[in-house]
Structure 1
Amino acid sequence: MTAPALALDGVAVDRAEVPVVHEVTLDAAPGAVTVILGANGAGKTTLMDGIAGLAPVRSGTIRLDGKAIERLAPYKRARAGLGYVEQARTTFRTLTVEQNLVVSQQGDGDLGTVYRLFPELEKRRTLQAGYLSGGEQQMVVLGRALVSAPKVVLIDEMSLGLAPLVVRRLMATVGELAGMGIAVVLIEQFANLALDVGSRAHVLRKGRVVFSGPCGELRGDERRLHRLYFGGPPVSAAEAGGAGAAESGLR
């Protein structure tokens, strides 16, 4: 059995000294997409920030490629092989596309791989990032994580504010990252799009994991997702069988 690239054991994370994430245990395998779902305020981004070192881990262990990182500074986690694509799509707006990528390049990170995944960026490599569309800026941020030669990439809500066609384009790239052997941990507002590309899912509610299992168990099951997000009685077999397969907009 392949060892996980990222493993969390009993992780609790605070935000502004307030406990938000409680006793989370999960792992992410290399070459696979691990999906984290939950309603707004469930603690998803706080969990990601805790893994990346941007929020304090109160207890528990985080192992990257078998090595504990929960006490390392964020830049040391990045150097150890952790990439983080945050919500805000932050680029260096006055730098060109290629300059944005080069500042993050390290180790075996290859600009050619980024341009293969995103030929749109190669055509705009000399253009300042501030002139790019939202979708293109997201490609830059994903590319910047890729050229840091990561073992694990955390992706938080990359679809925010983007057209559905662009989201589908980016989601296909997430699958390609996994195909390169990278462990991807994905938070996504469009649950079923994420479940389509993922292999294993975890649902957070009030900072705790309330579901862990194959993505196929949740795909298209709107009633079950809603109850996992917000609480309520278990879903009956009849209800589960009648659930629609429309794309979920649950957050």
Structure 2
Amino acid sequence: MTAPALALEGVAVNRAEVPVVHDVSLEAAPGAVTVVLGANGAGKTTLMDGIAGLAPVKSGTIRLDGTAIEKLQPYKRARAGLGYVEQARTTFRTLTVEQNLIVSQSADGDIATVYKLFPELEKRRTLQAGYLSGGEQQMLVLGRALVSAPKVVLIDEMSLGLAPLVVRRLMSTVGELAGMGIAVLLIEQFANLALDVGTHAYVLRKGGVVFSGPCEELRGDDERLHRLYFGGPPLSAAGTDAADESELE
């Protein structure tokens, strides 16, 4: 069995000194898309920020390619091979597309690969990032993560504010990132789109994992997803439902 590129064991993360995520264990395999789902407020972004070093990890272990990183500064985690695509689509707005890629590039990063994935960006390589459309800015943020030569890429709600056609285009690219051998950990509001591209899924509720299993077990099952998100009677389906509502309270 291939060792996970990213492994969390019993991770708890605080936000402004308030416990938000508790006892989360998960794995992300190289060359695969691992999906994290949950309702708003479930702790998904806080979990991602904890992995990236932007929120304090209260307890537990985060291993990147077998090495514990939970005590490292964010830039050291990035150097170790962790890329983070945050919600805000942050770019250097006054720099051109190509300059944005250059400042994010590591010694092993390849800008040509970004242009191959996103021909739209190559056409706009001399345009300031501030003039790009929302979808193009998201492509650029993904490209900046890619040129850092990551082992793992965290992607948090890249579809926010984008048209469905653009979201599908980006979701296809997420699959291509995995095809390059990168481990992708994906948070996405459009659950079934994420489940279509993913291999393994985790569902968070109230900061804890309530489901871990193959994406195919949840794909198209909106009723089950709703119960996992918000609680309800115990489920009888075959997946591993880690807790029902009574166990979480």
Superposed counterparts of 1:2-81, under 5 Å: 2-81=2-81
Distance between the aligned counterparts of 2:211 and 2:107, measured in 1?
37
Query: What does the per-residue CA deviation read over 1:198-235, in whole Å, with 9 as the maximum and x for residues that have no partner?
Result: 00000000000000000000000000000000000134
Distance (Å, rounded) in 2 between the aligned partners of 1:105 and 1:60: 31
Counterparts of 2:90 and 2:130, CA distance in 1: 10
- How far residue 22 of structure 1 moved from its aligned partner, in angstroms, is 0.2
1:135 corresponding residue in structure 2: 135
Q: Please state how far the C-alpha of 1:108 moved relative to its aligned partner.
A: 1.0
Give the structure 2 partner of residue 146 of structure 1.
Answer: 146
| Distance of 2:37 and 2:208 partners within structure 1 | 11
How far apart, in 2, do the equivalents of 1:153 and 1:159 lie? 16
2:240 match? none
Verify: 1:211 aligned to 2:207, yes or no.
no
SS at match of 1:114: helix
- The answer to whether 1:227 aligns with 2:227 is yes
More off after superposition, 114-123 vs 226-235 = 226-235
Which secondary structure state, in structure 1, belongs to the residue aligned with residue 93 of structure 2? Answer: coil
* Matching residue of 2:174: 174
Specify every segment of 5 or more residues in structure 1 that has no aligned partner in the other structure, as ranges: 238-251
1:61-140 to structure 2, matched below 5 A, reads 61-140=61-140
**Which letter does structure 1 place at the counterpart of 2:62?**
I
SS at 1:107's partner residue?
Answer: coil
The Cα offsets for residues 14-47 of structure 1, whole Å up to 9 and x where unpaired, read as 0000000000001000000000000000000000
Partner of residue 249, structure 1: none
Please give the per-residue CA displacement for 1:35-80, whole angstroms capped at 9, x wherever unaligned.
0000000000000000000000000000000000000000000000
Measure, in 2, the Cα distance between the counterparts of 1:43 and 1:33.
19
SS of the equivalent of 2:107 reads coil
Aligned to 2:246: none
Q: Which runs of 4+ in 1 moved over 4 A?
A: none
Structure 1 residue 236 displacement after superposition: 5.4
Q: Which moved more, 1:227-236 or 1:84-93?
A: 227-236
Distance 1:182 1:32 in 2: 7
- The secondary structure found in structure 2 opposite 1:103 is helix
Report if the CA contact (8 A) 1:31-1:179 is conserved: yes
C-alpha displacement of 1:107: 2.5
Q: 1 CA distance for matches of 2:183 and 2:101?
A: 20
Q: Secondary structure at the match of 2:104?
A: coil
In 2, are the aligned partners of 1:223 and 1:235 still within 8 Å (CA)?
A: no
Q: TM-score, normalised by structure 1?
A: 0.94
- Name the SS for the 1:62 alignment partner: strand
Give me the whole-angstrom Cα distance separating, in 1, the residues matched to 2:223 and 2:168: 24
Residue 88 of structure 1: SS of its match in structure 2? coil
Question: For residue 201 of structure 2, what is the aligned residue in structure 1?
Answer: 201
The 1:145–1:220 alpha-carbon spacing in structure 2 relative to 1, beyond 3 Å, is same
Size of the aligned set, in residue pairs, is 237
Q: Percent identity?
A: 89
Alpha-carbon RMSD: 0.7
**Is the contact between residue 21 and residue 208 of structure 1 (CA under 8 Å) also seen in structure 2?**
yes
Q: Which letter does structure 1 place at the counterpart of 2:155?
A: I
Deviations for 1:106-127, whole angstroms, at most 9, x for unmatched residues?
Answer: 0211000000000000000000
